[in-house]
């Protein structure tokens, strides 16, 4: 009998060339599949909900795989907790219905971008925060958010768009959370284009530094084919928080 196993995973993407399996590259998917192959004695194809970029982390990556293994869930959990590398961890495991597909059935995703906004460096957390020395104008950033949310053409906020992929996405919300020098940007939407969250983050940072105006942001959303310079925030401070079904 073929079983469908659903995993929730967290990982530090710092040393990986993204989620998606690539020949000759160390990837999160490839590393987990290697352990699953050893566990089941099968060639496992792990289906991930989000193909996170190189250097991006996850707190709640959703993935599933099909297997004929007779191992119990408890045995699988124990095996994965023992043999996954130190920078990848199993959060939960369950038996899913046969038609469950981690990517195709996802209806929304939550990403978080982390900024350290202070003149001084945060040396102990620098691997997970983007350091912006100049004080950000959060009020201006909040005003720009209303121009970015909703269902719209986000062509201006991606570096790669295949001919058969639509640039129209539904961005439900962007919220700003401040804890002292730490600023968290939360993005929730149905799905995201390649580098879209990082380019939206860069745009908001540019607004917060008064490098671009609200009118510049409006033009990016109303004339998305117009070429404009957008800061692409680095990947090391981006986290996939949760996938919604």
DSSP conformation class of 220: H
Active site residues: 53
Fold of 3-96: Alpha-Beta Plaits (3.30.70)
Residue 108: partners with Cβ closer than 8 Å, 6 or more residues away: 172, 188, 189, 190, 191, 243, 244
Q: What is the pLDDT of residue 230?
A: 85
- Range 108-244: architecture per CATH: 2-Layer Sandwich (3.30)
Long-range contacts of 186-189 (CB under 8 A, 24+ apart): 186/110, 186/111, 186/112, 186/241, 187/110, 187/111, 187/112, 187/113, 188/108, 188/109, 188/110, 188/111, 189/108, 189/109
Residue positions counted in the chain: 245
8 A C-beta contact, residue 23 and residue 8? no
What are the start and end residues of each CATH 3.30.70.580 domain in the chain? 3-96
State the DSSP H helix or E strand holding residue 136, giving kind and residue range, or none if neither. Answer: none
| Residue 72 burial by Cβ neighbours in a 10 Å radius (0-12, 13-18, 19+) | exposed
Q: What is the pLDDT of residue 226?
A: 64
**φ, ψ dihedrals at 238, nearest 5°:** -105, 135
Task: Determine the Cα–Cα distance for residues 215 and 73; give it in Å rounded to an integer.
Answer: 54
Beta bridge partners of 96: 4
Residue 43: partners with Cβ closer than 8 Å, 6 or more residues away: 37
Per residue of the chain (245 residues), what is the pLDDT tens digit?
Answer: 999 999 999 999 999 999 999 988 999 999 999 999 999 999 999 999 999 999 999 999 999 999 999 999 999 999 999 999 999 999 999 999 999 999 999 999 999 999 999 999 999 999 999 999 999 999 999 999 999 999 998 988 988 765 557 888 999 999 999 999 999 999 999 999 999 999 999 999 999 999 999 999 999 888 766 656 789 999 999 999 999 99
Q: State how far Cα 63 lies from the chain centre.
A: 14
What are the start and end residues of each CATH 3.30.70.660 domain in the chain? 108-244
Task: Determine the Cα–Cα distance for residues 243 and 74; give it in Å rounded to an integer.
Answer: 23
Among the listed residues 82, 29, 72, the one whose alpha carbon sits nearest the alpha carbon of residue 51:
29
Predicted TM-score of the model (pTM): 0.93
Q: 219: helix, coil or strand?
A: helix
Q: What is the pLDDT of residue 222?
A: 86
Task: Determine the Cα–Cα distance for residues 143 and 216; give it in Å rounded to an integer.
Answer: 13
């Amino acid at each position: 009998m073929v079983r469908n196993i659903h995993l929730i995973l967290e990982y530090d993407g710092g040393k990986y060339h993204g989620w998606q399996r690539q020949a000759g590259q160390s990837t999160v998917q490839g590393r987990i599949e290697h352990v699953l192959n050893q566990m089941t004695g099968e060639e496992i194809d792990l289906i991930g909900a989000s193909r996170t970029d190189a250097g991006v982390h996850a707190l709640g990556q959703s993935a599933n795989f099909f297997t004929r293994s007779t191992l119990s869930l408890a045995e699988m959990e124990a095996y994965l907790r023992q043999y996954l590398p130190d920078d990848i961890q199993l959060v939960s495991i369950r038996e899913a219905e046969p038609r469950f597909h981690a990517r195709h059935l996802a209806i929304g995703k939550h990403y978080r971008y982390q900024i350290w906004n202070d003149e001084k460096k945060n040396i102990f957390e620098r691997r997970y925060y983007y350091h912006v020395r100049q004080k950000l104008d959060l009020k201006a950033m909040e005003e720009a958010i209303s121009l970015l949310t909703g269902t719209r053409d986000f062509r201006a906020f991606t570096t790669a768009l295949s001919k058969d992929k639509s640039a129209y996405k539904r961005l439900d919300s962007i919220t700003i959370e401040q804890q002292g020098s730490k600023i968290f940007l939360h993005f929730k939407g149905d799905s995201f284009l390649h580098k879209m969250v990082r380019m939206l983050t860069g745009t908001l940072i540019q607004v917060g530094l008064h490098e671009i105006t609200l009118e510049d942001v409006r033009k990016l959303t109303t004339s998305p084919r117009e070429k404009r310079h957008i800061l692409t925030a680095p990947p090391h401070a981006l986290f996939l928080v949760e996938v919604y079904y």
